[in-house]
Amino acid sequence: MKPYIHRVQYYETDMMGITHHANYIRWMEEARIDFMDQLGFPYAKMEAAGVYSPVRSVSCEYRHPSTFGDTVSIAVSVEAFNGVILTIGYDMRNETGETVCAARSEHVFLTKDGRFVRLKRELPEFCAAIEDCMS
């Protein structure tokens, strides 16, 4: 999969000119949506099938600051998937290759009324695509 590229915008920085920490979580979502598109399962397609994927948890380790105008490359990887919980890793690097943030998010899959979805039965192609990313 191709990494997602994000250019740091002025409004994403604080008074010190450094990217505000909350923006990295937004970038994770942008990268995750791009990853799903590349996988062939856009979020809109999943939602049309009645499957929603809320975030269960998020963790970020901020290693090096990014600033206005920086280009951040976000590599997305599947760290774990058990058919119920999907754990995604994010390696965010600046133009010089330094890691600015190492992060992960966990997602579950639910119906609109909040019931867990049996993905292997409901979306077997999605499961296969995710499992292919793990090998």
- Give me the active site residues, please: 14
Cα 30 to Cα 24: distance, rounded to the nearest angstrom:
10
CA distances (Å), origin 34, targets 3, 44, 55, 98, 112: 9, 12, 16, 22, 23
Cα 67 to Cα 110: distance, rounded to the nearest angstrom:
37
Cα 86 to Cα 82: distance, rounded to the nearest angstrom:
7
Instruction: Residue 82: count other Cβ atoms within 10 Å of its Cβ.
Output: 8
